[in-house]
Structure 1
Amino acid sequence: MGALIDRPELIAGILGARTPIVILDAPAGMGKSSVLALIAQRMGADVVRSPQPPTYPADGSTTDTVLRLWDIPPYTAPLAIPESCVSGNHRLIIAKRPDTVLPGQARALAYGQATLIGSEGLMMSHGELERLFGSACEDVAEKSGGWPLAVFNTRLFEGPPDVLRAFLDAEVLATMPDEELVVLQLMLVETVGRTSAATRHPSFSESHFPTTSPLPLTAPFLMRPDGTGRPTLVVAGVRDVLREAIDHVMERRLRNAGSAKAIAEAYRAKGLVVEAICAFQKAGLFDNALRIFQDAGGPFFLYYFGPQAFDTVLAGFPLTFSIQTEVLVLAKALQSLKLGDIARARRLLIDRFGDIANDYTQVFSSRSVFSRQFRAFRLVMLLYEDYFFSEELLERAYALIAEFPVEDHLSRGSFYNSVLEFYIRNRQFAAAEEVAQRAMFHYRAAQAPLLAFYISLHQTLIRLMMGDALAARRYATQSAAFIAELPFESPNDARLQVLMDACVEYEAGRAEPLARFLNLEIDGFAHGEIWPSLLEFALHYGSQALGEHFSTMAARSFLDRWRVYQTSNGQFQAMISIREAAVLQNANRWQEAADTLVAISGRVDRAFVLAGGEPLARVQERDELALALIWLRQLVYEAPQRPGLDQLVTTIIGNMNLTDRQRMSAEIWLAYVAKRQRNATQARAVLQKTFGDCARLGTIAPLAEERVFLQELIDNQRIGGFLSTVTGNRQILRKLRDSGRLDNQSTKMANTLSRRESKILLMISEGAANKDVANTLGLSEATVKFHLGNVYRKLGCRSRQEAISSARALGLLG
């Protein structure tokens, strides 16, 4: 260690020990040999460097105490401590490493004949450093922490890091016990406290997770408690090199089954389940790893430890091992669902269980050959597949819950989570709220904040569908609190929370956050976990917001991208086409909207809606109901004075499967039809009710989405003036105008054109000649030219092309 520097306090303590034997027990770099050399100088003694102990005069030859110095070389097997030291008066000072087994040491300590000075006792105190270095002692103390090797070798951290790393590896860490090595590794990770405390599964006993960890006894120059009792790195400059050295030693030890088990159990005792599983996997002990994975929830592991840990653990199991293990197959299938890859999830189940795994009648039959865990997972998977639950399947599903123990909160909560989607899709919101509360109870009992987050998200979605923005905001706040509890990063779930927050703002009149989110985050959102109700939600709100605040092209592009993402799902394709028709209608491109609707196959079409009656009043299936509504909206625009149209709208309003938001839209159509049929009294009464509902629920979005009809109603003095006499209505109108939903330039210009002029303008923009327009509308060509002249005058144009260009610039044509 270079030139000897006197350490009088330490030497005085060693020589003044009350026992005949003093053992300096510390790893390399602690200055043991230097201390022996200093004592040898002072006492005029020799240092014996050999596995054999020093010799003493024969018994009885002298009554004087004899001092001997013994420096045991590393990597040797020394002989026993001389009996004359253990039971006599002869003195012996020994320097050894902790891994060196010294016969007689335990006996000498037990008899009180020996004093053990470990690494802590050999560290250099602040007083010693001040005496040695004077004013420079603070700098030396900061760099070295009192570690003798660093004190006397000031260039230790300036040379190649490989030298220090090799020293730490071979001389300090190589012989450190496995458990102690784990403790040291964890102390170097700044977030270990948060990780070990927060990512544990509730099935692990709290006693398995001690709140304090012993410091490495053999290396106090590495760690020492600070003023608060937390371990800190004494020699700051060694952190990165030490971490690399520990990783190298860990990698080497994990090749040995015995060390791997000790390391994995040490991780598990600290609550680091992921690290424990990975340790077993690296050692090839996959059965041990699987047992911990199952104890930590199996497929539910994801919800306690996060997607990154879930992916890491699953990747550590070999494919041949995974496909033979049901719990791993289900976990990998869930992983695929979370990535939006339903086809891969189906393939995984087929490869393990055969085609019968996707036969719901067989899976959920009373004689099913599948395990309870598999059937519960298959029920969850139906949620992602947008499978329509028949009453028979729902009844069979409810029979499944009786098989789960009362205390199995995860399985029970997931069952209610699965049927929750069914009730939302069928607009049975009362039942949906009931099962949501049951799921929330079980997930909270299971201490699973991520799963509770999903339930709060569903509750937010339910309230938004109902048009209840105030309750939706409360649930969104609750879901944000659950996300904040997570001890891991979950980017897709955080993205869902941002989406819900933006939708709540949209309901209150601010569409910009939602449009901005969907414009920037669509790829991350679309390639993540998508439930059918969430996709329906995103399609509706997203296309509406983009159409309002960007352009019709942006809204259609948004829908087209979803069309690609959901190529294999016919139900989603219909949903997308319905939303595209709505976008076109909002852009005053009604003919294109009609063509889009005609192309959607199914029993619900224009004729079905016009027939009205009981079938229209009882349309139940989600997409069929949406299609009936969008067709009715088309009819209201095309022929508001059509006899019996008001009855058709009234019939759909009476449909018990409508959401409150859909009902509000239909009420605006009814008011519009009443106004066009010169029944202002009815129009006012209907609008008064709708505005009252919006004020009570804290939303203006349903009104804003129908501005193509609402603007004309508000501009009518008999209707708009009447509404303005009520304070709540005035506040809603002000919000609509402040958000740009009413009285914008394009709407005002559209109102200067007559209905016939608007239709003629739309038709010529789609390429129709005057003759085609005349034939379609039942007019003469002269009358068409007359109306075109009025259009040119009102738009300040002199030609057909100028009129089309001006109309597009004003947004009259989308």
Structure 2
Amino acid sequence: MSPDAPPPERILRKPLVDRILSDQTGTVFLRAPAGAGKSTLMRDAADRLGTSVCALHTPRESDVQNGWLFWDVPGSARTARLSAQVAETVEHLVIAHRPSQKITGLARRLLHGGTQTLDARALSFSADEIGTRLPAPAMRRLLDDYAGWPAFLPLTAAPDPALIADYVGETFLSQLSPAPTIRLSIWLEAPTPDPDDDWCDALPPFLLSAPDTQSALIGALRTAVAARLEAFSNSSAVTEVATALEAAHRPLAAMALLLDHGHEAHAAQILAHSRGLELIYDSNLDEFSRIVLRFSPEVVATNETVLFAITRTLMKQGEFQRVRQLVAKHLGSDYLDPLKVLSRGTRFSFAARRFRLNMMISEDMTPSDAMLQRLGEFMADYPVGDDQKWAAFYNALLEFEIRRRNFREAEAAAARALIYFRKIGGHPLLEFFIHLHLIVLHLTNGDVRLARPAARIAREKLQSVTHPVEQEFRMLHLAEAALAYEDGQPQKLVAFVEQEFDAFARAEIWPSLFHFAIQYASQAVMDHYPASIRPGFLDGLWLHLAERMDLLQAVQIRTATAYQNEGRIGEATATLQSLRAAQSVPPEAMTPDWLAQLNDRNTITLAMARLRCLVESPAPGPDIDRQLAALESSPKATLRETVSLKIWRAHLAHKRRDTAAARSQLQAALLSASRLGCFGVLSEQRIFLAPLLRETRIRQHLDTAPDIRATLSKYAESISTPKAKARSGGLTEREAQLLQLIAGGYPNKRISQALNIAQPTVKFHLSRLYAKLGVKKRSEAIQSARALGWL
């Protein structure tokens, strides 16, 4: 054949005809989907013998010619039967049929005579069979684009994608019900070789064995399947399609289809079958939200599963106030009181009580002993075999114990939750949250060594989640940035604040993580941004927390810390004193006995901030050493806080010129930081460390210990901020402060107020700053400082 000749409409397949006519079993099956060329092959064999082909549902005795019966079973037949009379008469039987068709009446014949089957693979064209009977381009197209399927032979010269799609829909898919069509559509999303499903018999075998090479046929199949599913969905079969989607583990798609067609009750049933609240953890949040928020108010009012799915979605979006309004509207205002919801004999359902526990995680509430007793009573109602519910229960306990600073109990709750997750075969996303909790726990306590393996496992778990989890990756990025900060590398934390913090803060964040975020993000801002920017950052953070009044104290404390680091003790003290908790405990009430008995996270944090002001003030008070020692002895003080307290005690001893005491306290602090791997706390306390380390006798003593030398090296890396560079470049602390303030646009009057110094003193310090930079005015000073990396 000439290379340019068009392909023939058909190719005589002599080897296959010979196999049929030389059969010794007496029964030959041509078993393949439509388009395999069964009818053509049968006609060629019949023509060779001079007989005809029977195309009836049930052959007659008269259709047997010369002992041969060529029976082409009609494609419309689901079943076909060979009568006993014909079975006894025929000597050579050839049957062409589709895999989905059942042929009966042959059992005795097959038992005694055997059978030969030419299946779809045998009927597909191969390169050896075609040889030179097709032009090379046509042969490549037939084999590579059309899986060697005989029906597509006429299209090898002039492909017609629309015609192929129509043919596929009319022949391959016509016998498929909604369920296998759904499963086929899922396979087509990412075709893998050699699938095993009941729809496989409807397709060419070479397409299934190498789908990545059959792009044209895969494309036609996708088009045809989409058209068939649309036809199903627009007919009375819509509920059948939804049921098939649910069976194929596509509950969201099933719900969307049902909601499109007004079947809300059925959609709610599928949500319930899919474990309702838990479905959000197995789904893309945006897709889940779009679907569940489509339920009508009438369904929300009467169906708790839908109500809790919607409120859980709103919580994930950071809309906690809307959640409270919805549950109060539909369940009553007493639902907002967790003690009433969790108590024995409550009117609320088990699902409502579980969701109330879920809400408690998002509320910055430190459970009382009475609350924990209620939780213990509620635990008795949990189903014994529902491991995922038990895992969620211990996840809640984990959060509560972190808030109560019961770190060992929190670790035990985490271990218990992970045991239950293992029982259900694992759940990467929920296990990620457990390990993220452990990172927060260990870094909050100050034990960085234990936080690192938790971070590694958290990343592994999150990377194995199959749906998008952007917000969870932001949480992980924060944790990893905090770990880098603890290792003396603050750049990741600064990048997180600049690039991700805003989106992070707008979504759902449970309180212990938010406290953690406030601590680390504000530290990065204090260390690396001009003073004028810092209040703006904290104000912006407060906008995100407008619904969460209980986090105001954490933000205000960090604002006060920023003032303290600038030497603005008056403003720091005023900021702290404005808090209601501080107003209820005047400074004289902060006795050593009172401090030693503190056990509440918020109270301890506030006490630390107030003591820091006293340590930095010119006249800290006669009891300051006893106050610091008392708080350090508290069993609820974190390891991180005890390091800070030791540094403050060293600073006070140094101010009293008690070098031995200063050296002892500082050495203890540095050894603790080294043992814990918690180097970030040293950077945070640099205003106290710096004068201590400039003391020759103290520094020489510290340098004799290798562990402390390594710790101080980490500390030096961590403080390589613009302000630190300015200090090392010859500026005093006050001059470095002034440089930051003029860069922020502060006039002399505001600088005077900010630093609590007279305006002539401001001018004096500015003149010295200009002299050191070799400039004469502010703009030149700012330009020069930026060139030096001091801003």
Matches within 5 A, 1:755-774: 767-768=748-749
Report if the CA contact (8 A) 2:515-2:554 is conserved. yes
Counterpart position of 2:166: 166
2:40 corresponds to 1:31: no
2:17 corresponds to 1:15: no
2:368 corresponds to 1:390: yes
Deviation at 1:520, TM superposition (A): 0.8
What's the % identity of the aligned pairs? Answer: 24
Following the alignment from structure 1 to structure 2, what is the Cα–Cα distance between the partners of residues 301 and 773? 53
Deviation at 1:690, TM superposition (A): 0.3
C-alpha distance 402-467 of structure 1, shift in aligned 2 (>3 A): same
Counterpart position of 2:724: 744
Report if the CA contact (8 A) 1:598-1:605 is conserved. no
Deviation at 1:211, TM superposition (A): 9.8
Match of residue 501, structure 1, among 480, 495, 499: 480
Report if the CA contact (8 A) 2:522-2:538 is conserved. yes
Structure 2: stretches of 5+ with no match in the other structure: 1-6
Q: How many residue pairs align between the two structures?
A: 774
Which amino acid in the other structure matches residue 538 of structure 1? A
Deviation at 1:800, TM superposition (A): 13
Counterpart position of 2:127: 126
Report if the CA contact (8 A) 2:241-2:254 is conserved. no
Following the alignment from structure 1 to structure 2, what is the Cα–Cα distance between the partners of residues 620 and 720? 36
C-alpha distance 89-625 of structure 1, shift in aligned 2 (>3 A): closer
Following the alignment from structure 1 to structure 2, what is the Cα–Cα distance between the partners of residues 771 and 559? 22
Match of residue 364, structure 1, among 342, 346, 371: 342
Counterpart position of 2:401: 423
Following the alignment from structure 1 to structure 2, what is the Cα–Cα distance between the partners of residues 753 and 342? 43
Report if the CA contact (8 A) 1:215-1:224 is conserved. no
Following the alignment from structure 2 to structure 1, what is the Cα–Cα distance between the partners of residues 774 and 585? 36
Counterpart position of 1:196: none
* CA root-mean-square deviation: 4.4
Match of residue 318, structure 2, among 328, 336, 340: 340
2:662 corresponds to 1:683: yes
Following the alignment from structure 1 to structure 2, what is the Cα–Cα distance between the partners of residues 367 and 86? 75
Deviation at 1:235, TM superposition (A): 3.6
Which amino acid in the other structure matches residue 707 of structure 2? G
2:641 corresponds to 1:662: yes
C-alpha distance 772-704 of structure 1, shift in aligned 2 (>3 A): closer
CA distances 1:101-128 after superposition (whole Å, capped 9, x unpaired)? 8xxx411465349876554442223321
Matches within 5 A, 1:395-410: 395-410=373-388
Deviation at 1:281, TM superposition (A): 6.9
Deviation at 1:147, TM superposition (A): 0.3
Report if the CA contact (8 A) 2:542-2:552 is conserved. yes
Q: What TM-score do the two structures reach when normalised by structure 2?
A: 0.84
2:199 corresponds to 1:244: no
Match of residue 413, structure 1, among 385, 388, 391: 391
Query: In structure 1, the residue corresponding to 2:500 is in which secondary structure?
Result: helix
2:465 corresponds to 1:486: yes
Counterpart position of 2:4: none
CA distances 1:112-168 after superposition (whole Å, capped 9, x unpaired)? 498765544422233212253386655642233220122342046x33x33222221
Which amino acid in the other structure matches residue 104 of structure 2? A
Counterpart position of 1:514: 493
Query: In structure 2, the residue corresponding to 1:477 is in which secondary structure?
Result: helix
Report if the CA contact (8 A) 1:512-1:549 is conserved. no
Query: In structure 1, the residue corresponding to 2:105 is in which secondary structure?
Result: helix
C-alpha distance 733-181 of structure 1, shift in aligned 2 (>3 A): same
Deviation at 1:586, TM superposition (A): 2.3
Deviation at 1:645, TM superposition (A): 3.7
Which amino acid in the other structure matches residue 414 of structure 2? A
Report if the CA contact (8 A) 1:119-1:218 is conserved. no
Which amino acid in the other structure matches residue 746 of structure 1? A
Counterpart position of 2:276: 298
CA distances 1:503-540 after superposition (whole Å, capped 9, x unpaired)? 11111111111121222112331232201111111011
More displaced stretch, 525-534 vs 108-117: 108-117
More displaced stretch, 161-170 vs 588-597: 588-597
Structure 1: stretches of 5+ with no match in the other structure: 194-209, 227-231
Report if the CA contact (8 A) 1:221-1:234 is conserved. no
Report if the CA contact (8 A) 1:124-1:146 is conserved. yes
Matches within 5 A, 1:251-650: 251-254=230-233, 261=240, 264=243, 268=247, 293-294=271-272, 296-304=274-282, 307=285, 310-311=288-289, 314=292, 320-446=298-424, 447-604=426-583, 607-608=586-587, 612-640=591-619, 642-650=621-629
Report if the CA contact (8 A) 1:222-1:234 is conserved. no
Deviation at 1:363, TM superposition (A): 1.0
Following the alignment from structure 2 to structure 1, what is the Cα–Cα distance between the partners of residues 46 and 482? 81
Report if the CA contact (8 A) 2:145-2:217 is conserved. no
Counterpart position of 2:3: none
Which amino acid in the other structure matches residue 147 of structure 1? W
More displaced stretch, 127-136 vs 143-152: 127-136
Counterpart position of 2:153: 151
Following the alignment from structure 2 to structure 1, what is the Cα–Cα distance between the partners of residues 529 and 129? 72
Query: In structure 1, the residue corresponding to 2:668 is in which secondary structure?
Result: helix
Counterpart position of 1:202: none
Report if the CA contact (8 A) 2:84-2:105 is conserved. no
CA distances 1:285-305 after superposition (whole Å, capped 9, x unpaired)? 766665665454332233345
Following the alignment from structure 2 to structure 1, what is the Cα–Cα distance between the partners of residues 233 and 754? 82
Counterpart position of 2:10: 4
Query: In structure 2, the residue corresponding to 1:530 is in which secondary structure?
Result: coil
Following the alignment from structure 1 to structure 2, what is the Cα–Cα distance between the partners of residues 377 and 48? 68
Report if the CA contact (8 A) 1:261-1:280 is conserved. no
C-alpha distance 144-640 of structure 1, shift in aligned 2 (>3 A): same
Following the alignment from structure 1 to structure 2, what is the Cα–Cα distance between the partners of residues 771 and 93? 105
C-alpha distance 409-722 of structure 1, shift in aligned 2 (>3 A): same
Deviation at 1:8, TM superposition (A): 0.2
C-alpha distance 802-627 of structure 1, shift in aligned 2 (>3 A): farther
Report if the CA contact (8 A) 1:85-1:92 is conserved. no
Report if the CA contact (8 A) 1:278-1:313 is conserved. yes
More displaced stretch, 704-713 vs 591-600: 591-600
Match of residue 106, structure 1, among 101, 104, 125: 104
Report if the CA contact (8 A) 2:625-2:649 is conserved. yes
C-alpha distance 110-350 of structure 1, shift in aligned 2 (>3 A): farther
